[in-house]
């Protein structure tokens, strides 16, 4: 047990933390809420009497010794900001044994005995490769794709859905005026989670995801035909970026098969930016706190995750072996709303 005065001047007696200095970094594609997670890691570390250092530019920074000192003040007022104050990068060098050796040398030089990596599966694999070298590691899922198998929710997803929706609502105004068919491509990497959520929320006529091979007549033309028979004169088609050919191919096919005037919008990286939603700030803060708590308790090789509304954690190897399909309720609702199943497993 140790007694100390914490960062808000309170005298505390707590368990002696199992680690002394954490390096926190963000890796892979950025996501709104990553800053809130960084802040939570730093503040929780201070609370537990642990030092915290920010590693800039993900694994690239780790192997090049690119760091910044973090304290209570340096993470003030970052929760509401999009992007990541620690920058993010993808490092090819880290995949090599020599790169990992350099990363371990940085940990030694900076006196780091723990790492918290915020990102996706690639980030967790990297942590795992360092875990057997005397460094405690914890992963936090951060990606707008919501495609991390062990977690029902990933930091950034809610904000990305809202950002896409805002644009789609605007598109709908102009598509309605001109009685057009809007084909909107949303991100999601190889998964359709983002597309299904956005489609449900915007009331799309059609949603296409990589989880289901597209039967063009049945999945696209038939719902448009039914909507037209019901009196609709404009149509919203949501296409996940992982669908072969993407939005341009789908729009071309719709144009060839119908008399509809189609327009394509690829939302792209716009979905990755912006101030995080309340949900993303809160989930990020809960996860950041949990990551430090696990380290303080002497745990390692864990991914912090969500199971419904609960914060849980899994062994990294087990987490990486898990698989995740589209949410069952989302699929059922999509089928009821559009008349078409959005997954082959239906
Ligand atoms: O994983 C997040 C994501 O935005 C995916 O949705 C997308 O496929 C990819 O990253 C884009 O990566 P980049 O920023 O390297 O273009």
Average pLDDT along the chain, 346 residues, taken 10 residues at a time: 66 81 97 98 97 97 96 97 96 91 95 98 96 94 98 98 98 98 98 98 97 96 96 97 98 96 98 98 98 98 97 98 94 90 72
User: What separation in Å is there between the alpha carbon of 189 and the centre of ligand 1?
Assistant: 6
Q: Are residues 53 and 193 in the same domain?
A: no
Angle at 269 between CA 307 and CA 265, to 5 degrees: 110
User: What separation in Å is there between the alpha carbon of 242 and the centre of ligand 1?
Assistant: 11
Sequence-distant (6+) residues with CB within 8 A of 42 are: 24, 52, 54, 70, 71, 72, 74, 75
CB neighbour class for 303 (10 Å; exposed up to 12, middle 13-18, buried from 19): buried
Q: Which two three-digit tokens encode residue 168? A: 């789609």
Q: Tell me if 317 is assigned to some domain.
A: no
Angle at 338 between CA 336 and CA 342, to 5 degrees: 85
Q: Are residues 20 and 109 in the same domain?
A: yes
Q: Are residues 267 and 332 in the same domain?
A: yes
Q: Tell me if 319 is assigned to some domain.
A: no
Residue in this structure with the two tokens 């090789």, named with its chain if needed: 301
pLDDT tens-digit map of 194-244: 999 999 999 999 999 999 999 999 999 999 999 999 999 999 999 999 999
Q: Is 302 in the pocket of ligand 1 (CB under 6 A)?
A: no
Q: Is 267 in the pocket of ligand 1 (CB under 6 A)?
A: no
Q: Is 34 in the pocket of ligand 1 (CB under 6 A)?
A: no
What pLDDT score was predicted for residue 298? 97
Atom 7 of ligand 1, residue of closest alpha carbon: 189
Atom 10 of ligand 1, residue of closest alpha carbon: 29
Q: Are residues 117 and 165 in the same domain?
A: no
User: What separation in Å is there between the alpha carbon of 176 and the centre of ligand 1?
Assistant: 30
Q: Is 88 in the pocket of ligand 1 (CB under 6 A)?
A: no
From the CA of 241, give the closest atom in ligand 1. 8
pTM recorded for the entire structure: 0.95
Residue in this structure with the two tokens 């990305």, named with its chain if needed: 160
Question: Total structural domains in the chain?
Answer: 2
Q: Is 143 in the pocket of ligand 1 (CB under 6 A)?
A: yes
Q: Are residues 150 and 165 in the same domain?
A: no
What pLDDT score was predicted for residue 12? 67
Q: Are residues 119 and 138 in the same domain?
A: yes
Q: Tell me if 239 is assigned to some domain.
A: yes
What pLDDT score was predicted for residue 343? 77
Q: Is 272 in the pocket of ligand 1 (CB under 6 A)?
A: yes
User: What separation in Å is there between the alpha carbon of 12 and the centre of ligand 1?
Assistant: 43
Atom 13 of ligand 1, residue of closest alpha carbon: 29
Q: Are residues 145 and 94 in the same domain?
A: yes
Q: Are residues 19 and 129 in the same domain?
A: yes
User: What separation in Å is there between the alpha carbon of 260 and the centre of ligand 1?
Assistant: 31
What pLDDT score was predicted for residue 346? 46
> CATH no. for residue 172?
3.40.50.460
Q: Which two three-digit tokens encode residue 123? A: 């980030």
Residues 236 and 172 sit within 8 Å (Cβ to Cβ):
yes
Give catalytic residue positions.
Answer: 145
> CATH no. for residue 38?
3.40.50.450
User: Which residue range(s) make up the domain with 90?
Assistant: 2-155+276-308
Q: Are residues 206 and 331 in the same domain?
A: yes
From the CA of 28, give the closest atom in ligand 1. 1
Q: Is 193 in the pocket of ligand 1 (CB under 6 A)?
A: no
């Amino acid at each position: 047990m140790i007694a100390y005065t914490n960062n808000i001047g309170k005298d505390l007696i707590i368990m002696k933390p199992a680690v002394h200095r954490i390096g926190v970094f963000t890796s892979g594609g950025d996501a709104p809420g990553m800053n809130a997670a960084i802040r939570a890691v730093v503040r929780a570390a201070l609370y537990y009497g642990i030092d915290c250092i920010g590693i800039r530019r993900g694994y690239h920074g780790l192997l090049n010794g690119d760091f910044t000192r973090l304290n209570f003040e340096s993470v003030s007022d970052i929760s509401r900001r999009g992007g990541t104050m620690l920058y993010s990068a993808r490092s090819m060098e880290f995949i090599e044994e020599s790169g990992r050796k350099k990363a371990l040398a940085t940990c030694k030089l900076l006196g780091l005995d723990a790492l918290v990596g915020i990102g996706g599966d690639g980030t967790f694999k990297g942590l795992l490769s360092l875990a057997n070298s005397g460094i405690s590691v914890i992963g936090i899922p951060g990606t707008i794709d919501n495609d991390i198998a062990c977690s029902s929710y990933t930091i950034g997803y809610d904000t990305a859905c809202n950002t896409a929706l805002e644009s789609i609502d605007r598109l709908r105004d102009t598509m309605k005026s001109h009685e057009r068919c809007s084909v909107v491509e949303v991100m999601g990497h190889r998964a359709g989670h983002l597309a299904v959520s956005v489609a449900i929320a915007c009331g799309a006529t059609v949603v296409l995801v990589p989880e289901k091979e597209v039967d063009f007549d049945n999945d696209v033309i038939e719902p448009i035909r039914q909507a037209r028979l019901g009196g609709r004169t404009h149509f919203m088609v949501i296409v996940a970026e992982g669908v072969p050919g993407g939005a341009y191919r789908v729009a071309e096919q719709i144009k060839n098969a119908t008399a509809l005037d189609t327009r394509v919008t690829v939302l792209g990286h716009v979905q990755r930016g912006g101030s995080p939603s309340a949900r993303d700030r809160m989930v990020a803060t809960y996860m950041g706190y949990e990551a430090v708590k696990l380290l303080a308790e002497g745990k390692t090789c864990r991914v912090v995750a969500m199971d419904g509304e609960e914060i849980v954690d899994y062994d990294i190897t087990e987490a990486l072996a898990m698989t995740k399909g589209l949410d069952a309720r989302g699929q059922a609702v999509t089928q009821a709303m559009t008349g078409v199943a959005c997954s082959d497993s239906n």
